[in-house]
Each structure stands twice: as structure tokens, then as C-alpha cells.
Structure 1
Amino acid sequence: MLSYRHAFHAGNPADVLKHVVVVRCLAYLNQKEKPYLVVDTHAGAGRYRLDDASAQKTGEYQQGIARLWHRQDLPEALRGYVQLVKEINSSDELTQYPGSPWLIRTLIREQDRAIFYELHSKDHALLKRHLERKPQIITRCEDGLTGVIALMPPNERRGLVLMDPSYEVKEDYQQVVSVLEKAHRRFATGTFLVWYPVVDRERISAMERAVKRTGIRNIKQFEFSTCPDFPGRGMSASGMFVVNPPWTLEQEMQQILPYLVDVMAPDQGSFRYKTLVAE
């Protein structure tokens, strides 16, 4: 939906979960010299000011990345992500937050490629401005859920696809599962990350059932809640479906998730992780 602007939500707990998973998956891909392709279907503006009116209006980052900013006891699997956030800030003060495109651009190597989709024209213009011009990086002002299917399988035969629509349009819940099924059919060995917000628990339960019905194997699910589910209250949690996850990811998330609850939502928070579909 073209009214959605991520600047109001940058750095919140949902961003932390999503970006930690992206960073850990890319770190795993980088262990081999072979090139890979990364596709981000809803890239946003690429980076965000946390001291501007949009972020200050909601203050959501205060419960998210700000809770990790000065921590000295970060789990090892979380340190790389926090260090990347520190690198985008020129001082010890937290004033900027990297979106997934900035994280991806920073972590991919010369032999790798990245394609970023952003349909909102203003955010796409910012995205182009925020990403350095590199031959292996492409931005497209198009619908990423439509475009990603045609890219599969990538020539590299290795890759990661991040699908994270705003879900302001209810049909997104069904469409993202349909696109996942079609893209996986073309690229069965790829890693697919599907982020989702928990606003209506029954809708997420239905989404889980739909993902299972695709017949795709080897799916992990990670979820982080800042408060109990409460209809009409807004987003209580967010989660990730990870298809073909790195074998190291589950163990890393077993360290990260309870830590995030302790630091960000010690009174009402919770987490869960499970094998949604076995290999």
C-alpha cells in the first residue's frame, strides 16, 4: 500500500528481529566464495534518521535498537548486527538506522548481486540516493512480489530472498505465501525469509497453515513478542518464516530471542521458535 512509510517504524523490535535474521543468513552465505543473489521485495528508503520527525513521532526505536545500543553483554550472534548499526552512526549517539538494503549492501561482496524493489516513488528515490552506485546493485520502482518470481532461479544458483510487505492490505498475507510457493518451485535450494507482523493471531495461524500446504520442506519459524496478543491493540509481535535456513541459525536464535525479551520486554515479552516443516 503506497501510504506506508517505514520511517515511522525504523529500528523497532520487529526491525531488530528481521535484520538479525538477514545478517546471520548473509554471514553464512559469505563463508563460501561462490557468488549469490539477494532480492529484497520491499526495500524501503534504505536508511533512516532516528532524530527526524517521523521516527520521533512514534519513538518505536526506543524499545528496539536503542535497548541494545550500549549493552556490553550482547550474545555473540547479535554483536555483528549491532556493530553494523554503529557503523552507520558517525558518533556514539544513535541517530541513524540501516534498513535491510544498507545491511545487504554492506555485507555482500564484489562477486555477489543485490536487487531491491520499492514501489513507493519517494522511498525509491531515497533508496537510490542512499545506496552507493555499484555494478552489482540494482534498484527497481516496481512491485517486488511480482518481480521476484521472474528472477528465479538466479544464475549464481545461490541466493537469499527477503519478502517483507507492510501487510496493510490484507491480501498480502495470501499473496506472500503464493509468491513463496512459486519462487521456491523455481529455486528449491534458495533461502527465503518471510517477515510477518502479529496484529491478528488467527490471521497468522492461517498463514502458518497456508505455508505448510505449499509442500515446501525445511522451514523454521522465529517469533518475538513485546506484549500479549490483544485484538485491536496493534502489533504485539513479529516473526519470520525461514525456508532452507543455515544450519547454524536455530542455535543462534536460541541465544538471541530470550536475550531480546529480557532487554526489550522483560515484563510482558515472549518468544517462540519451532520447526514449522521438517527437512
Structure 2
Amino acid sequence: MNYRHAFHAGNFGDVLKHVVLLDLVAALHRKAAPLHLLDSHAGIGLYDLASAEAQRGGEYRLGVGAVLSDPAARRILPDYLAALRALNPELDDTGAGLRRYPGSPWLLQRSLRTEDRLTLCELHPEDVQTLKHNLGRDPRVSIHHRDGFEALRALTPPMPRRGLALIDPAFEDENEFATLTRTVQAMHRRWATGLLAIWYPIKDQRETDRWKRELAAPIAAATIAVELTVRPARESRQMNGSGLIIVNPPWQFDDALRPRLDFLKTRLAREAGAGARIETLVKAA
């Protein structure tokens, strides 16, 4: 419970996560039926890039900053850029004017329609209070001070049943991958139609691939993994990339995402051997 995302806001992992998340929500909004969105490890929802925490590592400069420095971002990532501009009215085409970075709760709240619902969970006692302050009073949003894994088991299937769960733990516990695997598999048994988006760091690619196979083995629905590495993923002592496992991805989702993923690889690569891929873990029935 020591993890504070303020040190890492806007880094390459955030960029991938948020680009994919916005595409998923846009696909769900193609139908008028109400949605229930869940974020299991919400953080504070909104980040000040001028803060001491963000400035200490400056990770956003090689993440969102690198994306915004390319004029093509406006064409390739229109939803992502629209969200950043909504939060930073002075943002220009060079990336100047970026002052605040949205967390996934802010992006999800912004996407809500009248009948949609959003449930946010955060365990850190200070962060949950900041989250409530940052998102304001919105009758469509419920904020819980509770463990995200416990909440996912207790709150699914949600009402309405159509929806998405974003699962983005801190991975500060050595057993976190095992806990995540058990939680996702249990959720899928109870909520077979739910769209699940599970973010994960990539250190050693072989270990990551083994874990993905283990998680996906009992899943009885189409499942893909979207991955971006900024350097070859051979050094297990550092974060070399990140990915999202997506259970029940929208129809033709991978085709729509592929050009965005290729663009992100070009902008976010730090060494030769950076990569981007969309991998099928479970084929559609």
C-alpha cells in the first residue's frame, strides 16, 4: 500500500493503458445500452505534473511528452488528445501547456453517459480522499475505500451487467501476479460477458508470457494481449514495457488499435529492439 502513482503519471505505461482504455470505451458506446465501468485500483484520478513527485523522475517527459511532440498524434490518437486538451486548455500542438495528466478514473468519468455508472476502488487512505475531491460529486460515480481485488470479487457482476472492469494493481507485492490471476479467473466465471482489461508491467518477456498463458488457460472467451516494450525485455530488474490482457475484446478491436500501437512504439522507444504486438491468447468460439 506504499505505491503512489504520482511519481509515474504520464509514463509510457500510462500512455498505452489510456489509449487502449479510450478505444475500449468508444467501442462499447457504439451501442446505446447503459454501461457499468469499474476501476479496481483507482489512485487519485488526476495528477499535477508540476508536483515534486512527478518532477522527481520526470517519467512523463518520455511518455506523454514524447507522444505530444509529434504532430501526427492529433490524427492517430484523436480521443487521447481530446481528453488531454479538455484537462489542459492551453495545450498546443507542440505539447507545451501540459500541466495535468488524467488518471483512468477521470477518463472513465468523462466518458459517462446519463445512464452509465462508474465504480472506483482505492485502498490508500489519503489517496481515496484525494480521489473524491478530484472527481467531485457525481451521482453516477461510486467511490469505495477498499481493497481492489476484494472489491472485484464482491461487486461483479455489476448492474447493469454490460460493462468493463479495468484492473491495474501496483505490483508491489511478490504474490500480486498470482492474486491477479485468481481474481480474474473468478471474475470471468461469474461475469462471463464482462469486458476485462488487465494492465501489467513487462520486465522479463519469457516470464510474462508464461504468466499470460496461466491466466488465460481457463478463460472461455476471446482474449488478447496488447503489448508495448520500449527496449528488449530481457532485464528483469527494470520495467521494459507494459501490456493489457483484454477478455471479450470488441469486434475488430485489434484492427482499429494496430496503427495506434505502431505509432506509440515509434514515439516511446528508448532503445533498438523496442516492440509492439497484439497476441491472441484465446480464440473466439
Q: Give the alignment's TM-score, normalised by structure 1.
A: 0.95
Report the 3-state secondary structure (helix = DSSP H, G, I; strand = E; otherwise coil) of the residue aligned with 1:87.
Answer: helix
Task: State the alpha-carbon separation in 2 of the partners of residues 53 and 75 from structure 1.
Answer: 29
**Cα displacement (A) at 1:227:** 0.8
Does the CA-based 8 Å contact 1:9-1:58 persist in structure 2? yes
| Worse-superposed segment, 52-61 or 152-161 | 152-161
1:193 to 179, 194, 197: 197
In structure 1, what is the equivalent of residue 64 of structure 2? 65
* Residue 214 of structure 1: how far off its partner (Å): 2.0
C-alpha displacement of 1:216? 2.9
5+ residue gaps, structure 2: 92-96
Maintained 8 Å contact 1:196/1:240: yes
> Deviation of residue 76 (structure 1)?
4.7
Q: Is the 8 A contact 2:166 2:196 kept in 1?
A: yes
Query: Do structure 1's residue 273 and structure 2's residue 278 form an aligned pair?
Result: yes
Aligned residues: 278
Please tell me whether residue 52 in structure 1 is matched to residue 51 in structure 2: yes
1:191-230 paired onto structure 2 within 5 Å:
191-230=195-234
C-alpha spacing 1:250/1:77, structure 2 compared with 1 (3 Å): farther
Q: Deviations over 1:157-202 (max 9, x none)?
A: 2010010101111211011111111111111111000000012334
Cα separation, 2, equivalents of 1:60 and 1:207:
27
Deviation at 1:154, TM superposition (A): 1.9
Q: Distance in 1 between matches of 2:74 and 2:145?
A: 37
1:143 and 2:147 are equivalent in the alignment: yes
Measured after TM superposition, the shift of residue 111 of structure 1 is: 0.3
Report the more deviating stretch, 264-273 or 186-195.
264-273
Residue 17 (structure 1) aligned with residue 28 (structure 2):
no
Corresponding letter in the other structure for 1:111 = E
- 2:98 equivalent to 1:94: yes
Greater Cα shift, 207-216 or 190-199: 207-216
- Give the superposed CA RMSD: 1.5
Matches within 5 A, 1:77-88: 78-88=77-87
Identify which range, 10-19 or 150-159, moves more after superposition.
150-159
Cα 1:178/1:242, change in 2 over 3 Å: same
What SS is found at the alignment partner of 2:19? helix
- Aligned partners of 1:180, 1:145: CA distance in 2, in Å? 9
Residues 87 and 70 (structure 1), Cα distance of their counterparts in 2 relative to 1, 3 Å cut: farther
Note if contact 2:199-2:244 (Cα within 8 Å) is conserved in structure 1.
yes
1:207 partner amino acid: W
8 Å CA contact 1:38, 1:160 repeated in 2: yes
| 2:162 pairs with one of 158, 162, 169 | 158
Q: Do 1:77 and 1:252's aligned partners in 2 also have CA atoms closer than 8 Å?
A: no
Separation in structure 1 between the aligned mates of residue 139 and residue 241 of structure 2, nearest angstrom: 37
Percent identity of equivalent pairs: 36
Which whole-Å CA distance do the structure 1 matches of 2:174 and 2:88 have between them? 36
Shift of 1:136: 1.2
Deviations 1:34-85 (A, max 9, x none): 1110110000010001111111111111111111224321375521112101
Assess if the C-alpha contact under 8 Å between 2:39 and 2:119 holds in 1.
yes
Question: Could you tell me which residue of structure 1 aligns to residue 246 of structure 2?
Answer: 242
Structure 1 position 121, deviation (Å): 0.9
Residue pair 2:45, 2:104 contacting (<8 A) in 1 also: yes
Give the whole-Å Cα distance in 1 for the aligned partners of 2:228 and 2:74. Answer: 16
1:117 aligns with 121
Conserved 8 A contact 2:23-2:257: no
Which consecutive unaligned segments of at least 5 residues does structure 1 have?
Answer: none
- The answer to whether the aligner puts 1:183 opposite 2:182 as a matched pair is no
Q: In structure 2, how many angstroms separate the alpha carbons of the residues matched to 1:75 and 1:190?
A: 31
